[in-house]
Structure 1
Amino acid sequence: MPGYSFSSFAQIDPSSTTSFISAKNPIPATATATATRTSMATQRILAAAEHNNHLLDVLSRTDYAAPELSQTIEYASGLRAILAKEEQKLQRLVAATVKEHHEHESYRDSTVRRLAYKLSGQKGKFNEKAEKEEREWLEAIQDELQAKRAVEHLKANLVDAEATASRLKLVVDEHQAAQSELDALYNSIFSGPSPEFPNEDFKEGTVKAAQATFEEVQQRLSMEAQVREVLGDAELFMGRCIRNIEDALHASTMDAWGIGGSFADMNERSALAQSQSHASQVEMLVSQARRMQPIIQALGPMNIAQGNLMSDIIFDNVFSDMAFHDKIKDSKAQVLGAAARLRNEVQKSDERLGSLKAEVKEKKLALEEKRRELQDERRSVFERISNDLPSYSADITNNDSVWPPRLSAQHDVHSALYGEDLQQTSTQPGGYNTEAYPPTYDSYSSSSTSPAVFVIVVRQERSGEEYIGSPEEKKQADLGQYLAADY
């Protein structure tokens, strides 16, 4: 009988097309698992690419919202504090108006006082006192109305700020949702530091730095825009203050020349009261702007001339009228000086706004560029991983020397052992009839739950070629000795 040696055997899982190991061309056992893991990574990378682009677009569109929302919330908080003070002031003025009205009606309707002045021959004094009480009441009403307008203005600004904050909150929510989704996507691929991708880590750091710089400049821009809005409101009240003081100056001129009498005097006091109220609004708004932007300079004093009882009634003559007229002129000079300084601050704020808008645009472009670089780097990593994938399945399928398997040797061994024909149920790898392979060598099987097939390749020692002998000769071979000798 020719001499034979046991060359090799392998366990074959008939249900897998990639687990068949050729005795002549063995494939590493980890090849299939590696190929499978790599294939899954490729699919994840390819599937994530389009979604990644979408998320980056959302972030770029909503970058401005977070710093602007922070500044708007701070602005609204400041408005609430000012509004609370103005409402308290309004309550005091309402109480003062009620008091003045009560005193006016009490004096006007007092028959006893009227009769007393009449009997003493001072009926004119009574009328002057009654007019004075009426003026004080009317001035209290004007102060109350001015305070109400200021409160309404603050409430309107607060409503606008809250509406802006609500709108920005939606944008911030969208931004945060996209950022969270993008972080989850990248963490699933680049979880933690990636020493194998140092360039990707470096570019990710540059993106974070550019993002922080952009947010800082965007916040300064939002703050400056609100400062400019407050200064614009101050300009509006400053204009009203100047008009009121000019009206008071005109009424004072008429009173000094003896034209208009008590009516001119009443108009003068009313105009001065309104001018004082508007000057107070200007000072409040400028103070608010300075809290947000400390480089804004103070406007200086705006002392509005005010009359008194002695000059109005007892010493009311042409000289006192001219002296008071000069005081009104001094007040107008102070107001005009403050208005000039306010215009200068408004101009500087406009310049800062223009500079910050240009800087924000520059930083936004830089941030987008860094994000594109990071995206390109990650895309490059994706492509590099995809290009490095080994094609084990394709190699096995296209290798004619391996597929189809060597059926002649298998057929001979099987026939020698069992006297049956090997039945091939499929021309594809792994498509063999498992019923033709009884589990004879269970002790060598790595799995006790699935059928195992051992392919025995018998080679002729003399020529190195496969020997195809008769079934009777192969049955005479001591298979146990070969297995024991090789294992």
Structure 2
Amino acid sequence: MNSTSITNAIKEAVPRNRDLLAILSETDHAPPALEQQKRYIDDLNNELSTIQKRIVVLDEQRAKEFKEHKKYRDSVMKRFAYRVGGKTDKFQARANKEEQEYFAVLQKERQAKEQEENIRVMRSKALEAQSDLEAEVDRHREAQEQLDSLYDSIFQGPTPNFPEEDRSEQNAESALNAYHNSRIVVETELQVVKLLSEAKTRLSHALGYTEEALSYSRMDMFGGGTFSDFMERNALDKADSEVNQMRLLMRQAQRMSRHVQDLPAVRIAGGSLLGDVLFDNIFSDMAFHEKIKDSRAALERAQGFLLNQLAQAKSRHEEAERDMNNYASVLETSREELQKARQRIFDRVADSNTDEQAIPADDPPPY
């Protein structure tokens, strides 16, 4: 290709070149973001598989415990035998134990199914986001392929007589790799922030339900009766469910970033509703009220720790974004320099009226 053809080719390629570079700039974030999103979905799939296996085990346990519970609940002959033998209290204690074990497993199974549903929702949203990113990645790849084809049509293979173009191209490639690596860090820390923010919301809900339980517990101490017992346990059950969701989110955040630490232990007060009805008195009510207060204190400690973890994650994300923006600037500059280097080559070729094999103007003159 002679110098005139190169110059004409460059002039014709300028608008297309500009459009393709704009598309690349808009979609540079997509490849690393998609990579991170796929890792996140893999993690959700693993969580879903784990919780489904747990549900199967809990379902088997529930069926077993129900048989034992029903046997003691409905066994008139056993009750009569214990009464004749003067062991009514022993029968009631065994029945109460079977009732507690059955409802404990029932509660665990219900909470596990809630977790399963939450994970399914999270995965559904993540898959939608992945689909959007895949479209952006396709757009990025197509623009890059068209740009490469455009340059190949002008340079037509290696250009050993134009070393400045080769150096600029290598710098642009290195800058792109650095930007992609920084973008992965940004996407990871952003995901951690989202997970910790949701964990904070779950913990706040658990605190709200615990306060609600304390309110009913105070009522119960002053003669609230069965209704207060029921509402108190219902609120604690909801608090426990929120805590379980919080733990799930924390595990996911920890897998995303080694900087996320374990929260202080949290245990929501629990007990037997049947026991409350049968053995209800001011002393048992006061003792359980203290247990609920202990649960609230544990939640408040965890909340303080979680807020600190969230603040640190936000700080890491902001720092990673600053680094990424610096790499983006370097990438943009390197791409601009590559274009300028090629333009200088084209200009020299046109000015010297030589072809691509001519000695570049910046080479040392022969002696």
TM-score, normalised relative to structure 1? 0.63
> What is residue 62 of structure 1 aligned with on the other side?
27
* Aligned-pair CA distance for 1:263: 4.5
Equivalent position to 1:214, from 179, 186, 194: 179
The CA distance in 1 between the partners of 2:195 and 2:101, in whole Å, is 32
Q: Within 5 A, what are the aligned runs for 1:196-211?
A: 196-211=161-176
Whole-Å Cα distance in 1 between the matches of residues 322 and 28 of structure 2? 16
User: Once the 2 structures are TM-superposed, how far is the Cα of residue 72 of structure 1 from its aligned partner?
Assistant: 0.2
Structure 1 position 294 matched with structure 2 position 220: no
**How many residues in Structure 1 have an aligned counterpart in Structure 2?**
354
1:363 and 2:344 matched: no
* Partner Cα separation in structure 2 for residue 266 and residue 108 of structure 1: 20
Using the TM superposition, give the Cα deviation of residue 294 of structure 1 relative to its aligned residue in structure 2, in angstroms.
1.4
State the partner residue of 1:429.
Answer: none
Alignment of 1:175-190 (within 5 A): 175-190=140-155
The equivalent of 2:215 in structure 1 is 250
Q: 2:353 aligns with which of 379, 389, 410?
A: 389
1:170 to 135, 157, 167: 135
- Higher-Rg structure is 1
1:45 corresponds in structure 2 to 10
Give SS of 2:313's match.
helix
Which consecutive residues of structure 2, in runs of 5 or more, have no partner in the other structure? 355-367
Measured in 2, the distance between the counterparts of 1:289 and 1:93 equals 26
Q: 1:252 to 1:129 in 2, by over 3 A?
A: farther
Shift in Å, 1:308: 7.2
Cα separation, 2, equivalents of 1:103 and 1:56: 71
Deviation for aligned residue 1:139: 4.8
Between Structure 1 and Structure 2, the one with more helix by share is: 2
Shift in alpha-carbon separation, 1:224–1:146, aligned structure 2, 3 A: same
Shift of 1:160: 1.4
How far residue 338 of structure 1 moved from its aligned partner, in angstroms, is: 0.3
Q: In the alignment, which residue of structure 2 is the partner of 1:80?
A: 45
Distance 1:119 1:257 in 2: 37
CA deviations on 1:391-422 (whole Å, 9 max, x unpaired) are: xxxxxxxxxxxxxxxxxxxxxxxxxxxxxxxx
Separation in structure 2 between the aligned mates of residue 267 and residue 123 of structure 1, nearest angstrom: 29
State yes or no: 1:89 paired with 2:54.
yes
* Whole-Å separation in 2 of the counterparts to 1:360 and 1:49: 28
- Residue 125 of structure 2 is matched in structure 1 by 160
CA distance 1:136–1:250, change in 2 (3 Å):
farther
Task: State the TM-score, normalized to the length of structure 2.
Answer: 0.82
**Residue by residue, what CA displacement relative to the aligned partner does 1:19-43 show, whole Å, maximum 9, x if unpaired?**
xxxxxxxxxxxxxxxxx74444444
> In the TM superposition, what whole-angstrom CA distance separates every residue of 1:335-355 from its partner, at most 9, and x where no partner exists?
111011112222222333334
Task: Tell me if structure 1 keeps the 8 A contact 2:210–2:292.
Answer: yes
Aligned to 1:304: 268
1:165-205 deviations in Å (ceiling 9; x for gaps) = 12211221221222223223323444565343233233223
Query: What is the distance in 2 between the residues matched to 1:179 and 1:280?
Result: 46
1:153 shift after superposition? 1.1
Q: What is residue 285 of structure 1 aligned with on the other side?
A: 249
Structure 1 Cα separation of the partners of residues 339 and 138 of structure 2: 23
Taking a change above 3 Å as real, the CA distance of residues 247 and 123 of structure 1, as seen in their structure-2 partners, is: farther
| AA aligned opposite 1:50 | P
1:372 equivalent in structure 2: 336
Q: Contact 1:143–1:274 (CA<8 Å) still a contact in 2?
A: no
Residue type matched to 2:290 in 1? D
Residues 354-391 of structure 1: per-residue CA shift (max 9 Å, x gap):
3433443343233223212221221222232223337x
* 1:327 correspondence with 2:291: yes
Cα distance in 2 for partners of 1:253, 1:117 equals: 36
What residue in structure 2 maps to residue 151 of structure 1?
116
What is the CA RMSD across the aligned residues, in angstroms? 3.4
How far is 1:77 from its partner?
Answer: 0.5
Q: What is the alpha-carbon distance in structure 2 between the residues aligned to residue 314 and residue 39 of structure 1?
A: 101
Q: Report what 1:112 is aligned to.
A: 77
Task: Call closer, same or farther: CA 1:40–1:192 in 2, change over 3 Å.
Answer: closer
Match of 1:3 in 2: none
- Render the CA deviation track for 1:193-237: whole Å, top value 9, x for unaligned: 534323323322332232122212211111111111111221122
Q: Structure 2 vs 1, CA of residues 125 and 142 (structure 1 numbering), >3 Å: closer, same or farther?
A: same
Cα distance in 1 for partners of 2:63, 2:227 equals 23
Q: Encode CA deviations 1:269-290: one digit per residue, 9 max, x unaligned.
A: 4444443333232223212212
Q: More displaced, 337-346 or 300-309? A: 300-309
Asked if 1 retains the 8 angstrom alpha-carbon contact of 2:199 and 2:250, the reply is yes
Contact 1:79 1:154 in 2 (8 A): yes
What is the CA–CA distance in structure 2 between the aligned matches of 1:316 and 1:369, rounded to whole Å? 76
Report the CA distance between 1:70 and its aligned residue: 0.4
Query: Which stretch shows the higher mean deviation, 40-49 or 124-133?
Result: 124-133
Percent of matched pairs sharing the same residue:
37
Bigger CA drift: 52-61 or 89-98? 89-98
SS at structure 2 position matched to 1:364: helix
Q: 5+ residue gaps in structure 1? A: 1-35, 391-487
Q: Compute the displacement of 1:129 (Å).
A: 7.1
Q: Distance in 1 between matches of 2:123 and 2:11?
A: 49
Which residue in 1 is equivalent to 2:363?
Answer: none
Cα distance in 2 for residues equivalent to 1:126 and 1:267: 28
Shift of 1:250: 3.4
